[in-house]
């Protein structure tokens, strides 16, 4: 379906007045054919392939952005999870590969490059262990590299040993970047049911089921939805839903237009549009503000789960009608530090860690950008991750955890990560321990529903 002139005019209004942008154009690149006789040789060959494949990416993004006067916030790359191609021994250091990815990103003028990760939901290979051990240093020392580790799935259950190891690596990354408020942890996501075509960071990677390359686009637009709902005082739930669907349709069409044009310029297949509403720290561009426009005094108040369920479902319904190529996360992001309204709600006391986690059962994304005290025990971090993985596993949905133990800071203090990462109060965690539980060996088995769906 062609883009109409009226849609373009409406888009211009949304860009100028309602904070609409394309959050990211992300190029996925398969590395399954890349080999090397050593870690260093493999790293160099990875660098060469990424640079060759994406050499025109940034220029194409800038040309399309300028042509339509549509802001594109980030240009990114995802690659095949590195643990799958490293063929490493447990004690190998994969930092040279991370360095090669970072060097490629710098040369290509890319904001982030994702895929320094592993898929360990059913078990770990020596290469997986080497990769996970290499994550803290890579994230602390390098600017562009992002990591994700899938530790659970509805089909396989929850790998508790991998969760405990990753909790240790989160703490290690926090310590290594302590002088920068443990910012390295903002580039690491722990997943259940990770999507293979996710254009968002830090959790994006190019899955093994994907082709040689693809262009994936992620839309934004909480400000646009909030603006639309603020005009509907005393509207019924049906009217709210229909307005969100109409707005999501318009936003998704913008993503479709941009993605397909860049795809054509590069001669790379168009992949997906991710329908997720992704907020920013900018005032007026907040998921929490949307919930208030629906009638809640503050995000986290009673009714918040119902409101965010309505929002997430309506966005998906409107977006699906606008594009035949929907994928990625496609939900409602509720990152604490990246959403000024969410941070405000936490400061006012309406949004606790537990309340935020309950909302992830319906938001389709997960526990995101949550800062906790730096002295939080590793076992407590593991328990928080395990709880979120259980939500994803039992509901057959994608969830992620991006949690930051800020070294040297306590609950109630604020942390400022800068830029799109935003700022937020540090949330308190339970003082009750789960050490014995999280240190048990093996997996929590998959639910019986995984065999009947």
Helices (H), 19-117: 39-53, 57-68, 82-86, 95-108
Around 280, how many Cα atoms within 13 Å sit in the side-chain half-sphere? 21
Question: Which band of pLDDT confidence, cut at 50, 70 and 90, is reported for residue 19?
Answer: low
Condensed to tens digits (0 to 9), the pLDDT of residues 55-77 reads 999 999 999 888 877 888 889 99
What is the domain count for the chain? Answer: 1
Question: Which band of pLDDT confidence, cut at 50, 70 and 90, is reported for residue 253?
Answer: confident
Q: How far apart are CA 115 and CA 176, in angstroms?
A: 21
- Residue 405 is given by DSSP the state E
pLDDT at 2 over 80: no
Handedness of CA 336, 337, 341, 345 (dihedral sign): positive
What is the full DSSP assignment across 217-247?
A: EEE--HHHHHHHHHT-TT--HHHHHHHHHHH
Q: How far apart are CA 89 and CA 75, in angstroms?
A: 33
pLDDT at res. 148: 95
Higher pLDDT, 318 or 78: 78
Mean pLDDT, rounded, for 185-201 = 91
Question: Which band of pLDDT confidence, cut at 50, 70 and 90, is reported for residue 17?
Answer: very low
- What does the radius of gyration of the chain's CA atoms come to, in whole angstroms? 21
Sequence-distant (6+) residues with CB within 8 A of 99 are 43, 142
Mean pLDDT, rounded, for 85-109 = 94
* Residue owning tokens 């019986």: 448
CB-CB contact of 79 with 210 (8 Å): no
Question: Which band of pLDDT confidence, cut at 50, 70 and 90, is reported for residue 450?
Answer: low
SS3 95: helix
Domain ranges, residue 322: 1-453
Question: Which of these ranges, 21-35, 60-74, 116-130, has the smallest mean pLDDT?
Answer: 60-74
Higher pLDDT, 82 or 244: 82
Instruction: Please indicate, yes or no, whether the overall pTM of this predicted structure exceeds 0.85.
Output: yes
- The beta-carbon contacts of 31-36 under 8 Å, at least 24 apart in sequence, are 31/79, 31/80, 31/82, 31/85, 31/115, 31/206, 32/80, 32/84, 32/85, 32/208, 34/85, 35/85
10 Å Cβ neighbour count for 298?
17
319, with CB counted inside 10 A (0-12, 13-18, 19+), is buried
Mean pLDDT, rounded, for 128-137 = 96
Pairing of strands 112-114, 145-153: parallel
Question: Which band of pLDDT confidence, cut at 50, 70 and 90, is reported for residue 11?
Answer: low
pLDDT at 130 over 70: yes
- Residue 342 is given by DSSP the state H
CB-CB contact of 112 with 105 (8 Å): yes
Structure tokens, 160: 């508790």
pLDDT at res. 252: 84
Nearest C-alpha neighbor of 434 from the set 362, 385, 394: 385
CB-CB contact of 140 with 359 (8 Å): no
Q: Measure the N-to-C terminal CA separation of the chain; round to a whole number of Å.
A: 33
pLDDT at res. 13: 53
- Residue 332 is given by DSSP the state B
- Between CA 171 and CA 183, with CA 177 as vertex, the angle to 5 degrees is 85
pLDDT at res. 220: 77
Q: List 78's β-bridge partners, or say none.
A: 28, 114
The enclosing H or E element of 436 equals helix 435-438
Higher pLDDT, 120 or 351: 120
Condensed to tens digits (0 to 9), the pLDDT of residues 290-347 reads 888 888 888 889 999 998 889 888 888 888 877 778 877 777 888 888 888 888 888 8
Q: What is the CATH number of the domain that holds 301?
A: 3.20.70.20
SS3 282: coil
Condensed to tens digits (0 to 9), the pLDDT of residues 267-291 reads 999 988 888 777 777 777 788 888 8
pLDDT at 355 over 80: yes
With DSSP H G I counted as helix, E B as strand and the rest as coil, what are the percentages for the chain, rounded to 5?
A: 50, 15, 35
SS3 301: coil
Question: Which band of pLDDT confidence, cut at 50, 70 and 90, is reported for residue 168?
Answer: very high
pLDDT at res. 320: 80
Mean model confidence pLDDT for the chain = 88
High-pLDDT (> 70) share of the chain, %: 94
Mean pLDDT, rounded, for 351-360 = 89
Mean pLDDT, rounded, for 407-435 = 90
Question: Which band of pLDDT confidence, cut at 50, 70 and 90, is reported for residue 231?
Answer: confident
Query: How many separate helices (H) and strands (E) can be counted in the chain?
Result: 15, 15
Higher pLDDT, 141 or 288: 141
Cis amide prior to 38 (ω within 30 degrees): no
Of 172-176, 285-289, 438-442, which one has max mean pLDDT? Answer: 172-176
Helices (H), 89-143: 95-108, 126-141
Nearest C-alpha neighbor of 353 from the set 384, 375, 374, 324: 384
């Amino acid at each position: 379906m062609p883009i109409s002139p009226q849609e373009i005019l409406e888009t211009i209004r949304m860009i100028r007045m309602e904070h609409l942008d394309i959050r990211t154009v992300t190029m996925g690149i398969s590395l399954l054919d890349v080999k090397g006789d050593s870690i260093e040789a493999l790293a160099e060959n990875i660098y060469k392939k990424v640079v060759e494949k994406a050499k025109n990416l940034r220029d194409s993004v800038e040309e399309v952005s300028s042509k339509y006067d549509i802001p594109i916030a980030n240009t990114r790359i995802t690659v095949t999870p590195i643990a799958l191609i490293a063929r490493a021994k447990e004690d190998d250091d994969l930092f040279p590969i991370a360095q090669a990815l970072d060097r490629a990103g710098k040369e290509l003028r890319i904001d982030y490059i994702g895929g320094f990760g592993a898929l360990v939901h059913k078990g770990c290979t020596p290469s997986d262990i080497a990769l996970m051990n290499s994550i803290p240093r890579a994230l602390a020392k390098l600017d562009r590299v992002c990591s994700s580790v899938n530790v659970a799935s509805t089909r396989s259950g929850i790998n508790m040993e991998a969760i405990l190891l990753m909790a240790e690596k989160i703490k290690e990354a926090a310590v290594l970047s302590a002088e920068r408020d443990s910012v390295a942890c903002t580039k690491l996501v722990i997943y259940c049911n990770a999507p293979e075509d996710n254009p968002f960071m830090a959790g994006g990677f190019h899955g093994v089921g994907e082709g040689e390359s693809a262009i994936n686009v992620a839309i934004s637009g909480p400000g646009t939805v909030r603006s639309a709902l603020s005009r509907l005082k005393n509207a019924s739930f049906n009217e709210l839903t229909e307005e969100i669907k109409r707005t999501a349709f318009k936003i998704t069409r913008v993503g479709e237009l941009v993605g397909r044009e860049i795809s054509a310029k590069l001669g790379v297949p168009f992949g997906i549009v991710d329908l997720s509403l992704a907020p920013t720290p900018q005032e007026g561009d907040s998921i929490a503000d949307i919930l208030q426009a629906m009638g809640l005094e503050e995000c986290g108040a009673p009714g918040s789960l119902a409101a965010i369920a309505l929002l997430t479902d309506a966005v998906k319904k409107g977006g699906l009608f606008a594009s035949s190529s929907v994928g990625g996360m496609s939900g409602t992001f509720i990152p604490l530090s990246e959403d000024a309204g969410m941070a405000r709600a936490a400061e006012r006391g309406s949004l606790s860690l537990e309340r935020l986690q309950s909302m992830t059962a319906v938001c389709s994304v997960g526990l995101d950008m949550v800062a906790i005290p730096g002295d939080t025990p590793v076992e407590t971090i593991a328990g928080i991750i395990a709880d979120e993985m259980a939500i994803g596993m039992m509901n057959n949905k994608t969830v992620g955890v991006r949690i930051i133990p800020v070294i040297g800071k306590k609950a109630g203090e604020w942390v400022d990560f800068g830029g799109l990462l935003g700022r937020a109060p540090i949330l308190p965690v339970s003082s009750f321990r789960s050490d014995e539980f999280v240190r048990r060996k093996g997996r929590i088995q998959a639910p019986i529903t995984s065999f009947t769906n």
